[in-house]
């Protein structure tokens, strides 16, 4: 899809902003192995539901707004009769529209025993798409290499003409979820590997590592929304009161699995200040064809450099490079000839004289 973001991690920093209403500090003074040990001690549930009861709870309560159930990979939705057993009703006797349980961390690669029923990595999915994903690792798949596209109740082998971000993709033994589920996948995978590392490594010590960088990118570029925040607290009611800490604190990945990739999460509206008082907003319009406006705020006067980056993280333009006063700023950029359509990035580099801060956003250039 357009949002091929993993390669950016090789070239520059990503700074994202989390809402204070959806953030809770988790062991802010810890990192590395000490933090991972603390997460296990503080957030691993002492008691989990048996697998059958976990499925019923997932389908009948956790992911059942208005008696409906939606496949996280395709957006396909069914109505569940509340008078029926939720798991059996969703499975529809194995019919073509059956929905069953996706173990984000595969059963064959460590999600066994009590961990099999840990709701923090379970989601409803169409049975056919779940079977196609199997135990494949997650990855970013170039559109022209995708073998199968999944949306609602259908699949196709050709690149979709519309709603492309709503499709999940498969190529051989690789699977890419739809855009709005990528962050959820990342945080579920990190949770599982933190809590059940020994049994995951016993099954395959290379599985998590092979997709770690991709998962880190997905966490930062698809942050927690209100639905995911509420979901983890609903699950906590059935799992010793323990939510997924990777949903609570967006800084956990950079302090555990993602530190070397130059990514950071800034929490807005808390006592923790943003670096240099910098606020970078989404460009408008986005997507755009002829030009777009960038806006930001500076907490102090500084040297400002605005850079346009390709999908591969290569700098293709520097439309602004100069000293700016503190306050709010807007800059209109007219698209240069030769800049092709697709995903691109913009980066603001702020030099206060004593420190350098960077913030990056993504945008889509139309044909």
pLDDT, position 195: 99
List the CATH number of the domain containing 333: 2.60.40.1930
Q: Which residues pair with 103 in a beta bridge?
A: 122
Residues 321 and 218 in one domain: no
Residue range 94-135, pLDDT digits in tens: 999 999 999 999 999 999 999 999 999 999 999 999 999 999
Q: What is the mean pLDDT of residues 258-271?
A: 63
Residues 219 and 319 in one domain: no
pLDDT, position 267: 58
Integer CA distances (angstroms), 250 to 27, 51, 53, 195, 274, in order: 12, 29, 30, 17, 14
What integer best gives the mean pLDDT of the chain? 89
Residues 188 and 297 in one domain: no
pLDDT, position 6: 39
**Could you tell me if residue 318 is inside a domain?**
yes
Is the pLDDT at 89 greater than 90? The verdict is yes
Q: Which residues pair with 171 in a beta bridge?
A: 174
Kindly tell me the sign of the dihedral angle through the C-alpha atoms of 48, 50, 53, 56: positive
**b/e per residue 155-191 (b: at least 16 CB within 10 A):** beeeebeeebebbbbbeeebbbbbbebbbbbbbbbbb
Q: What is the mean pLDDT of residues 256-282?
A: 67
Q: How confident is the model at residue 266 (pLDDT cuts 50, 70, 90)?
A: low
**Could you tell me if residue 287 is inside a domain?**
yes
Domain count within the chain: 2
Q: How confident is the model at residue 286 (pLDDT cuts 50, 70, 90)?
A: confident
Residues 204 and 325 in one domain: no
**Could you tell me if residue 215 is inside a domain?**
yes
CB 179 within 8 A of CB 215: no
* Domain that includes residue 90, residue range: 28-144+179-248
pLDDT, position 39: 98
**Could you tell me if residue 226 is inside a domain?**
yes
Quote the pTM value: 0.74
Q: What is the mean pLDDT of residues 53-79?
A: 96
Residues 330 and 233 in one domain: no
In angstroms, the CA 318 to CA 346 distance is 10
pLDDT, position 274: 47
């Amino acid at each position: 899809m357009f949002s091929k973001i993993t390669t950016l991690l090789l070239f520059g920093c990503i700074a994202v902003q989390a809402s204070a209403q959806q953030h809770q500090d988790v062991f802010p003074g810890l990192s590395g192995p000490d933090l991972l040990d603390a997460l296990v001690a503080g957030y691993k549930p002492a008691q989990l539901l048996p697998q059958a009861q976990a499925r019923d709870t997932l389908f009948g309560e956790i992911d059942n707004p208005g008696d409906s159930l939606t496949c996280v990979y395709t957006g396909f939705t069914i109505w569940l009769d509340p008078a029926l057993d939720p798991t059996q009703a969703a499975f529809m006797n194995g019919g073509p529209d059956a929905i069953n349980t996706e173990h984000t961390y595969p059963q064959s690669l460590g999600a066994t025993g009590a961990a099999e029923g840990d709701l923090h990595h379970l989601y409803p999915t169409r049975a056919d798409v779940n079977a196609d994903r199997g135990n494949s690792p997650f990855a970013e798949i170039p559109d022209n290499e995708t073998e199968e596209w999944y949306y609602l109740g259908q699949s196709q082998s050709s690149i979709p003409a519309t709603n492309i971000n709503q499709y999940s993709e498969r190529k051989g033994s690789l699977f890419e979820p739809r855009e709005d589920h990528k962050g959820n996948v990342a945080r579920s995978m990190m949770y599982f590997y933190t809590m059940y590392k020994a049994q995951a490594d016993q099954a395959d010590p290379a599985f998590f590592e092979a997709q770690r960088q991709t998962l880190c990118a997905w966490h930062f570029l698809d942050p927690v929304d209100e639905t995911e925040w509420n979901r983890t607290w609903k699950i906590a009611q059935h799992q010793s009161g323990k939510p997924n800490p990777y949903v609570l604190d967006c800084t956990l990945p950079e302090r555990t699995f993602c530190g070397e990739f130059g990514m950071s999460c800034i929490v807005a509206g808390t006592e923790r200040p943003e670096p240099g008082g910098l606020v970078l907003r989404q460009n408008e319009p986005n997507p755009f064809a002829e030009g777009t406006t960038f806006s930001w705020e500076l907490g102090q006067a500084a040297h400002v450099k605005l850079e346009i980056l390709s999908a591969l993280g290569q700098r293709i333009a520097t439309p602004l490079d100069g000293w700016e006063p503190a306050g709010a700023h807007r800059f209109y950029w007219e698209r240069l000839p030769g800049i092709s359509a697709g995903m691109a990035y913009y980066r603001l580099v702020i030099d206060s004289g004593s420190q350098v801060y960077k913030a990056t956003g993504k945008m889509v250039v139309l044909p």
